[in-house]
Every structure is written in structure tokens, then in C-alpha cells.
């Protein structure tokens, strides 16, 4: 007598299963894809969590490797594009013999002097034009006229008036760094709400108290952004001034290296200028985060005009 087996009975261990009881290959593929997708998300999250300086350093190292390989493989003349190894050799040799250190110190004095001069005049002008309407009408048009004149065209005149010394270089640097900081300072001082100012005045606050307790704190994030922009432009201003006429400085080294077709030394100077600019940027932003700790970097846009 034949025994009928009900196919609707659940599968139990130890019993013989049918082909339909085995795991579906499509389900296994879906599970594998889900696991792989989860792993990809974890790897992307880990990469995203890496510090920015590490990612930038890794990208910089990769670009240097590509640069070195491309120049070596293509056989490009070092007069046209030197490999990074030769650039760093020229940089190291210049540091050891003291020449680059001397010229760097000269340019650094011009940068710092011009930057401080620009800060003093820009902040004073911003306070003047935001506190008195008459000053705004009288001073701002003159400032705009000066800004429209190319600074490269003004540098030779400053050289004639003040000579080849530090004064002409400092003034050229200050002129280039002045306007972006001024615009940021004016925008910051005017960013305080009129309702807040009227409320302080209703409590008997004077113009100076409104400025000190409301308008200056409101302007700090904008001023710090302007300082960052002015510091970077100060590096540019010092080099422009040295190109026009100088007997020392990194701009002078670039011109002398250009005459001798020493491209590696020119690139070495660019490395030094980049380091100076980065140091000034991180210094100002670091101090700014301590002073204007309530602000966010994304809330302020640098007005570089």
C-alpha cells in the first residue's frame, strides 16, 4: 500500500526536502548585494570622516607623483617644467646657503608692514563712513576711484616718490590689501539690525555704546573674513612691488632666476610664498574662531572686489 506524503507539511530537520525547499539563488544574490552596499556606505563614511588636512595632503602627494612621472617619462626639459625633486633640491640648497632665508625675511617684512597699514586705514575708514553720513558721501567715492586704478600702474609712481626701499613696497602692499577689508568692515558694521539699535537707544544708549555693544560684535565675522582676504592679497602686493623694482626679496629672486633660466628656483620661491600665505590664513582663521566663536564660516562670504 502506497503512502501519500502531503506536500504542504513544513520541512523538518532529518527529513528529505524537495527542490523548492532549498535557498533561492536570487535571494542569495540580493543578500550579497545588500551586504556589499552596506560595506560601501561604511567605507564612504570612513573616508568622509577623515580630517581635511589629511585628504589634501594625500591629494597633493598624488599630484606630485603624477607631475614627477609625467616630466620624467615625457623627457620635458627642466628649463620648461622641472620635476618636483629638482624644485625641492633647489629649495633645500637655498635654505642651506642662507640666500632664500634672507630674501624671505625681506618679503615678510613688506607683507606684514603693508598688511598692518591696510588694517589700520581700512578699519578707521569703515568706522568713519558708517558713523557719519557726510563722511560716507565724501570719502567712499574717492576710495572707489583709487580702487579702480590698477595697482601695478601705481607701483612705479610709488617707487619714484619713495625710492627702492621698504616704504614703496609697504605702501603698494597696503593699497592692494586695503579695499577688500574695507568693504567687509563696512558690511559688518551695517549688518546690525535697526530694531536692535532702536531698542538700545530707547534705553538711553549713546552712539558709542551702540557701536561698542552691538555693531562691532556684529561686524567681527565680516572683519575676520576681510582680514583673511587682505592677508593673502598682501603676499601678492609685496611680490608685485618687488617686480617693479627691488634689490632684495622673493620677487627679486624670481626675476633673477628667470634671467638665468633657473626654473627650479622660481618654483622653489612659489613654494615659500604658498607656505607664507597658508600660515597667514590659518593664523587669522584660528584667531577668528576664538574671537568670533558664535559665528560660522559658511555664514560669511569674503567680499573680494
pLDDT tens digits, one per residue of 22-72: 455 555 555 666 666 555 555 666 667 777 778 888 888 898 889 888 888
Residue 89 has pLDDT above 70, yes or no: yes
Q: What pLDDT does 5 receive?
A: 47
- Give the separation between CA 141 and CA 273, rounded to whole angstroms: 34
Q: What pLDDT does 38 receive?
A: 54
Q: Note the pTM of the prediction, 2 decimals.
A: 0.75
**CATH code of the domain made up of 84-292:** 1.10.3720.10
Average pLDDT, the chain: 81
Amino acid at each position: 500500500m502506497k503512502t501519500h506524503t502531503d506536500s504542504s507539511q513544513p520541512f523538518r530537520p532529518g527529513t528529505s526536502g524537495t527542490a523548492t525547499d532549498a535557498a533561492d539563488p536570487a535571494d542569495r544574490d540580493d543578500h550579497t548585494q545588500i551586504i556589499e552596499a552596506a560595506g560601501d556606505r561604511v567605507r564612504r563614511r570612513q573616508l568622509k570622516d577623515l580630517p581635511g588636512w589629511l585628504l589634501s595632503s594625500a591629494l597633493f602627494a598624488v599630484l606630485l607623483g603624477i607631475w614627477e612621472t609625467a616630466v620624467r617619462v615625457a623627457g620635458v626639459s627642466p628649463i620648461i617644467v622641472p620635476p618636483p625633486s629638482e624644485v625641492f633640491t633647489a629649495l633645500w640648497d637655498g635654505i642651506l646657503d642662507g640666500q632664500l632665508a634672507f630674501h624671505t625675511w625681506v618679503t615678510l617684512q613688506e607683507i606684514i608692514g603693508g598688511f598692518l597699514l591696510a588694517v589700520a586705514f581700512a578699519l578707521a575708514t569703515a568706522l568713519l563712513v558708517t558713523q557719519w553720513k557726510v563722511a560716507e558721501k565724501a570719502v567712499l567715492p574717492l576710495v572707489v576711484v583709487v580702487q579702480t586704478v590698477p595697482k601695478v600702474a601705481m607701483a612705479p609712481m610709488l617707487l619714484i616718490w619713495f625710492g627702492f626701499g621698504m616704504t614703496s613696497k609697504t605702501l603698494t602692499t597696503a593699497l592692494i590689501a586695503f579695499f577688500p577689508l574695507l568693504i567687509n568692515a563696512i558690511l559688518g558694521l551695517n549688518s546690525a539690525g535697526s530694531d536692535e539699535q532702536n531698542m538700545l537707544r530707547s534705553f538711553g544708549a549713546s552712539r558709542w555704546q551702540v557701536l561698542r555693544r552691538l555693531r562691532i560684535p556684529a561686524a567681527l565675522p565680516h572683519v575676520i573674513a576681510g582680514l583673511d582676504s587682505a592677508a593673502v592679497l598682501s603676499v601678492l602686493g609685496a611680490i608685485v612691488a618687488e617686480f617693479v623694482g627691488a634689490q632684495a626679496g622673493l620677487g627679486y629672486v624670481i626675476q633673477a632666476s628667470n634671467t638665468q633660466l633657473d626654473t627650479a628656483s622660481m618654483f622653489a620661491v612659489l613654494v615659500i610664498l604658498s607656505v607664507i600665505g597658508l600660515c597667514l590664513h590659518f593664523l587669522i582663521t584660528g584667531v577668528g574662531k576664538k574671537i568670533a566663536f558664535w559665528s560660522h564660516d559658511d555664514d560669511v562670504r569674503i567680499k573680494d572686489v
